[in-house]
Structure 1
Amino acid sequence: MNLRQILNKLAIHRKLEDKQNLKGESSYRKVAIATCFGTFLEWYDFLTFASLAVIFGPLFFPSSDPNSGLLASLATFGVGMVVRPIGSALFGSLGDRIGRKPVFMITITLMGIATVGVGFLPTYAQIGIWAPVMLVTLRLLQGLSAGGEIGGGAVYLAEHAGNKQRGFKTSFLQLMGPLGILASTIQISLLQSLLTIEEFQSWGWRVPFWISLLLLLIAFYIRRSLEETPVFLELSKLDQTKSQLVNNFKDSEIRKRMFLLFFCVSSSGAILFFCVQVYTAIFLKTSVKLDSSFVDKLSIISTLALFPLTIFTGWLSDKIGRKPVILTGIFLGTTLILPIFQLLMFLGGNYLNYESPLILVCLALILILLSSILALVVGPQTAILAELFPAKNRNSAATLPHNLAAGWIGGLLPLIITSLNQFWEDSLIGLWYPIVLLGLAGILAFLFLPETNRVKLNP
């Protein structure tokens, strides 16, 4: 064989490799789009309720005290978060046993049905006590569904991402929560600008829930063509697709990593997410007394800033490691949350008096700073969530602590902060709750959280 023939063979081999890489990239893009869209729908459905918490108070929990109605509305939102761990235990175990894909189809259908149902609920004025009872029931169904989807989606995407640039590739999934809030906020802001207050409170608030039906049909169609993850297919060949939920707690190393995921990574991400994306808007509307439409516009700006920041931190975690990026976000959150909210109150009060464009810019920049802190924790989160556990245990071991943190720590955060503020009659005192938790999480993560960005996800 002469030199020309050797070079021709090498060229042909290189072309075949390039085609395989292109096919792999195309396949991953399809998986990423389908996974992200479904997770977006879950978050859109789940967080539309949070965006309407102030509206739901008088509609479903009428009271002579507006604070009581707000607390009841936030408690109903928290109920959906509290049951998320139950959904994660159920669907995470199913994901280890029957596969990641079938669970996706079940969870997205359940979430869609429950959310559309909220859009057709009669209010307290129409059927009395049955209105909040039915609302809480639908929130429970939403929580069960979200428990299986959020966390399970991270495992599914990470197992498809391969072993290179996994932090960057999977960081896009973390954008779906902010994107869900953004879509919900834009819709509500648009509806409020087009409708009168009476029209919005009568039927306009239902529109985002009705739109869920169309999004559900699109997501179901896209997900129907998804393939099972290569990792799970290998496990099924090895006959290792059994429920591992109980075994997770028997293994000391897995048990330790589940705790670290719960308390250090997922709790920190949930605390910052609900502080930045949920509670900040409630704080500006209720404590600072800024106009709702004005706060919604600020929220849109900070959420848009979060998108490139999250992708950047996911990429950065591939370069310098997951641990240093996450630790930076945790410690910045611990030290800056209180002074940032103090500054928001000061600037917000001055804006009410002067309506200065400079104050407006400062408020927007502060919210972008909060988004930057959040991005440092959630950017690498999808990757590390899967990397901490072996393949046969991954779905159940990752989804349970992740949803426990999001549900019990993050989901109850607005309610606990608001309750502490009202009890002590101080709009800022409740922030010490997330600050203390973040501080403890940062210390434990610094001491015990392993670096995982070089871990292989194969069985």
Structure 2
Amino acid sequence: MTTTTTNVRDRSRPMTGEEKKVILASSAGTIFEWYDFYLYGSLAAVIGAQFFTPFPEATRNVFALLAFAAGFIVRPFGALVFGSLGDLIGRKYTFLMTIMIMGLSTFFVGMLPSYYSWGVAAPIILITLRMLQGLALGGEYGGAAVYVAEHAPANQRGYFTAFIQTTATLGLLLSLIVIISVQGYVNGNYPDQPVLDAAGVAVMNADGTPAMMKAFNSWGWRIPFLGSILLLAISLYIRLQMNESPAFKKMKEEGAQSKAPLREAFGNWKNGKIALIALLGLTAGQAVVWYSGQFYALFFMQNIVKIDSFSANVFVAWSLVLGTGGFLFFGALSDRIGRKPIILAGCLIAAVTYFPVFKFLTETANPVLSHAQDTPITVTADPADCSFQFNPVGTAKFTNSCDIMKAGLTARSANSNTEDAPAGTIASVKVGETVIQGYDGKAENAADEKKRFDTELNAALTAAGYPINPSENTSLAKAEHFLDIFTAQKLTIVAILTYLIILVTMVYGPIAAMLVELFPTRIRYSGLSLPYHIGNGWFGGLLPATAFAISAQTGNIYAGLWYAIVIALMTVVIGALFVPGGTHKKDIFADDGR
């Protein structure tokens, strides 16, 4: 067991070797927990095909992303439960509970039969396990941030808590490396598997041959989930070696603990106001920048730019390798100039540059697609026929001709404009000079009309230069293996993604120290956990699904970026007006809240 000083006010000295060991051990355990949580996000498209098969492709993508987001939606509730426990019984034992719940939930995802075997029970159980992961993560972050901050020297809180900030990105990186390794091995050593429909029957190609999928997409995706049981064992060992936070021990010895931390943290305006300012003026903007730079960038490359999942994972992994050091850099910088200016600057730069950066990403990774998007495409439809195609529960059926038209264009990454038509008009689309008539999805001949529409739309888009079949697009970026990035095109993609990661490190590197400094010791775990997890769980976690739905509705593949931009700008304004500055100079033990 490690030993730590209880002289919690004497923190400006250098950290001892034992204290560094405590912080590194805490960070390592948190990496494994983030690895577990983000496995699903990295494999959302593959898992969606296994558990949400009955739904149309566009709906399946939204539903799969929302299953990913389910873990984020419940994170604030985990923050309330485990934050309260952390302030009542201590940081260490709360750590042990959260890692157990996370590790076992991840292992059971790997064991869960698909929709073909268990029907609708399979996606329901999957979402339940995701919610358990979210509850565990809701209690994890606050404890890790508080634990490290309460051990760190006062003049290095930003630097040492930045190690905790790296854990989320390193957990994502670890998940990508494991996925890339397993995917390469399984697909290279095992034969392709037949594609099954919702009834479990093999799908046939037009020429009568069975449609096939890679072995990894069929069953190999389970291996990273099942392997997490080993990480659980390592994490438990690490957590058992840690001692309680010296600040908590001192507070307990003095009898200064809060008997009702949730009521004290959020039941009066003095502390509740701090939580509200922290949410809207810090964590909301931080969250959308974090998820735009990592998960939405990954989703955008796979589903919009049409890069295969292996190559997209390789490019993101390299950007994480190159950019992760920024967490420590900006954490240390915040010890000198303050947390607030760095976080708000990151939000502002992101809001100003997202549109040109993501457009440059498309131009670089798929130049044929980017060039084709200059072709004017106009949808003419009755406005009443056009719905907002956001389907959070996967039950809505979008059968209006306008909805079908827009869904078809979005699936092909085609940008379009919409013109109003008289009431009752069946939607049509003009691609260049070619006009294609839509159809009513409720009509008796809808199946035949769908085949006709898809054929005509594919032909028109192909004539306009759209690369409908990615396998025939030789300009599309593709990595054959992890080291296959040393061409101008691929290095540029990695550079673009690294820029997005640097923005992530600006907003995320100093945030833990900033939140710790806003709340007194006796309610610190509860106080910082809720605004952090509402910001990251709701504003951030719902970003990929929300952005995708906005893009589908507007007919513009970049329109979903407005969600992140508006929230980031909101945080800049509120943060500049209401978030206190100079917290990096604060003695976090001087105000115990009594």
TM, length-normalised to structure 1:
0.92
The residue aligned with 1:390 is: 520
1:353 shift after superposition = 4.9
Aligned pairs for 1:344-355 (under 5 A) are 344-350=361-367, 353-354=474-475
Q: Determine which of 281, 285, 298 is the counterpart of 2:302.
A: 285
Aligned pairs for 1:303-322 (under 5 A) are 303-322=320-339
1:162 aligns with 2:292: no
The residue aligned with 2:470 is: none
Residues in 2 aligned to 1:355 and 1:205: alpha-carbon distance in whole angstroms: 25
Structure of larger gyration radius:
2
Residues in 1 aligned to 2:238 and 2:280: alpha-carbon distance in whole angstroms: 34
1:97 shift after superposition = 0.9
The residue aligned with 1:201 is: 217
Contact residue 328 and residue 509 of structure 2 kept, 8 A: yes
1:244 aligns with 2:261: yes
Contact residue 88 and residue 400 of structure 1 kept, 8 A: yes
The residue aligned with 1:181 is: 172
Greater mean alpha carbon deviation, residues 376-385 or residues 418-427: 418-427
1:213 aligns with 2:229: yes
Q: Deviations over 1:68-91 (max 9, x none)?
A: 211111111111110000010011
Residues in 2 aligned to 1:145 and 1:299: alpha-carbon distance in whole angstroms: 26
Q: Determine which of 97, 116, 125 is the counterpart of 1:134.
A: 125
Residues in 1 aligned to 2:528 and 2:55: alpha-carbon distance in whole angstroms: 44
Q: Deviations over 1:153-185 (max 9, x none)?
A: 111111111312111111111111111111111
1:422 shift after superposition = 1.5
Matched residue type, 1:82: I
Residues in 1 aligned to 2:130 and 2:267: alpha-carbon distance in whole angstroms: 33
The residue aligned with 1:456 is: 587
Contact residue 285 and residue 347 of structure 2 kept, 8 A: yes
Residues in 2 aligned to 1:434 and 1:113: alpha-carbon distance in whole angstroms: 33
Question: Aligned Cα RMSD in Å?
Answer: 1.7
Contact residue 91 and residue 103 of structure 1 kept, 8 A: yes
Residues in 1 aligned to 2:143 and 2:287: alpha-carbon distance in whole angstroms: 16
The residue aligned with 2:279 is: 262
Matched residue type, 1:236: K
The residue aligned with 1:12 is: none
Aligned pairs for 1:102-141 (under 5 A) are 102-141=93-132
Aligned pairs for 1:337-348 (under 5 A) are 337-348=354-365
The residue aligned with 2:243 is: 227
Q: Deviations over 1:95-120 (max 9, x none)?
A: 11111111111111111111111010
1:199 shift after superposition = 2.0
Identity %: 37
Task: Report how many aligned residue pairs link the two structures.
Answer: 439
Would you tell me which structure has more helix in proportion to its own residues? 1
Contact residue 52 and residue 115 of structure 2 kept, 8 A: yes
1:424 aligns with 2:523: no
1:79 aligns with 2:70: yes
Aligned partner of residue 426 in structure 1, secondary structure: coil
The residue aligned with 2:341 is: 324
1:21 shift after superposition = 6.6
Q: Deviations over 1:119-169 (max 9, x none)?
A: 100000111111101101111111110000022211111111131211111
Write out the 4+ residue segments of structure 1 that deviate beyond 3 Å after TM superposition: 351-356
Contact residue 31 and residue 226 of structure 1 kept, 8 A: yes
1:95 aligns with 2:86: yes
Matched residue type, 2:325: P
1:360 shift after superposition = 2.1
Aligned partner of residue 203 in structure 1, secondary structure: helix
Q: Deviations over 1:267-287 (max 9, x none)?
A: 222111111111101101110
Unaligned runs of 5+ in 2: 1-11, 188-212, 369-472, 478-486
Aligned partner of residue 456 in structure 1, secondary structure: coil
Greater mean alpha carbon deviation, residues 271-280 or residues 62-71: 62-71
Aligned partner of residue 305 in structure 2, secondary structure: coil
Contact residue 155 and residue 385 of structure 1 kept, 8 A: no
Contact residue 339 and residue 584 of structure 2 kept, 8 A: yes
1:198 shift after superposition = 3.4
Residues in 1 aligned to 2:528 and 2:291: alpha-carbon distance in whole angstroms: 20
Contact residue 264 and residue 271 of structure 2 kept, 8 A: no
1:63 shift after superposition = 3.3
Unaligned runs of 5+ in 1: 1-19
Q: Deviations over 1:284-316 (max 9, x none)?
A: 111011122221111011111222111100111
1:362 shift after superposition = 1.9
The residue aligned with 1:298 is: 315
Aligned partner of residue 95 in structure 2, secondary structure: helix
